[in-house]
Structure 1
């Protein structure tokens, strides 16, 4: 579903934020992308979803290149940044309808999905309110609903659990599992390593722009028997 082939990203001034990384996210994967602040996670994610351009390597989504076929790629993905910027002059339901229109989601389908997810996140009563009146957590919930309304083949999230209350975080995990059970894939960055350990079947670790591990969660935990992902993460960072 997502293939990153020898991808590098260099900013002006010669700063290489990401250096020759390759990884595969298959259908049904919940793939965790971990690393310290400034390691290159957000740069990679913004390139995956087409916000940043790139010159070296390629990023393929469902067999299409984000560099040469961006529209085909964006039709099958959804992206939730760590701090969603929504159209605050709209009401919640207007925003969801706007996103559903972009992806040509039929009326009956969108209505069912809005009801399902708004009820799960307990914001149904707020959908008629202006987004400008929403708390950060409510905006994040609305962004999640808008991201899944068109059944994306690939859901990409940057620090999705920051700002969510515990119940909403559990709901998001259930949505991730549901999407993947239906053949989609989830790729997300996180600092919440105990959560990543519990829900991911694959994980990659990036340090100073370079991949230091990419594989199954089971193989990662075998790196140091009896240790948690957090302990292994700290140990690998200390070695690099």
Structure 2
């Protein structure tokens, strides 16, 4: 089995005159949990959307499963799971209807999709809502629905953008274990989040994008060694040049406390 699953070579992307990606190079292997981080506007979402086929007109090349995604337009997408940061779901559908619809889109038979999705919802603590309309779901329940829909077809690569938004502490623990089990089975996971403590704990490798370029790439221990700082948040601030957060916080509070 080929070990390298994703190869990105000199990836560039512009919107008009604005250059978003400025030559990204990455080699990603099976079984890695990659913390894919960076400030807003660094190019994280753009990179992922290009890999997913949601953005075109880019420079450089991307090989997924050993094939250029430009030459393999549809088939490779069947092996990908995706949880976007903001997702629209069909509120008028039930959990059963939504998950079996997604399952069939990925080639599962209706009965198989129904059985699998019912068990997964029960394991995730939302089995009682399986036949309820999504419009009645809480934020956490919707997030669990999205996570299940991204995994229903047993993808080889998973892209997660702020996936634990709305989850309670117990569900976060379950989710972390799910990721660890998937990685142990050779699944590759891109985990994008602004929660640095979570990224620090779950990632086997961390890639930091800043201003359209890779600013850091390695294990957390390697990043610590290279930057002589403690937490991932401190490394993030150092590499992105963000040092005045204390001053901004102080000014913010002083304005809030001003007497009219």
Report what 1:151 is aligned to. Answer: 154
Report what 2:82 is aligned to. Answer: 79
Report what 1:209 is aligned to. Answer: 212
8 Å contact kept, 1:10–1:17: yes
Deviation at 1:112, TM superposition (A): 4.9
1:130 and 2:133 correspond: yes
1:4 and 2:8 correspond: yes
Distance 1:122 1:182 in 2: 24
Deviation at 1:115, TM superposition (A): 3.6
Aligned to 1:236, what secondary structure does the other structure show? helix
Structure 2: any 5+ residue segments left out of the alignment?
244-260
Report what 1:31 is aligned to. Answer: 34
Q: TM-score, normalised by structure 1?
A: 0.92
Distance 1:127 1:194, change over 3 A: same
Q: How many residues align?
A: 239
Give runs of aligned pairs for residues 35-54 of structure 1, distance below 5 A: 35-54=38-57
Task: Tell me which moved more, 172-181 or 105-114.
Answer: 105-114
Structure 1: any 5+ residue segments left out of the alignment?
none
Deviation at 1:56, TM superposition (A): 0.2
1:196 and 2:213 correspond: no
The one-character-per-residue Cα deviations of 1:148-167 (angstroms, maximum 9, x if unpaired) are: 11110000111212232222
Distance 1:162 1:239, change over 3 A: closer
8 Å contact kept, 1:5–1:22: yes
Deviation at 1:41, TM superposition (A): 1.1
* Cα-Cα RMSD: 1.9
Distance 2:112 2:38 in 1: 38
Distance 2:27 2:88 in 1: 29
Task: Tell me which moved more, 201-210 or 213-222.
Answer: 213-222
Aligned to 1:132, what secondary structure does the other structure show? helix
Q: Which aligned runs of 4 or more in structure 1 are off by greater than 4 angstroms?
A: 106-109
8 Å contact kept, 1:84–1:140: no
Deviation at 1:108, TM superposition (A): 6.3
Report what 2:68 is aligned to. Answer: 65
Q: TM-score, normalised by structure 2?
A: 0.85
Deviation at 1:24, TM superposition (A): 2.0
8 Å contact kept, 1:65–1:73: no
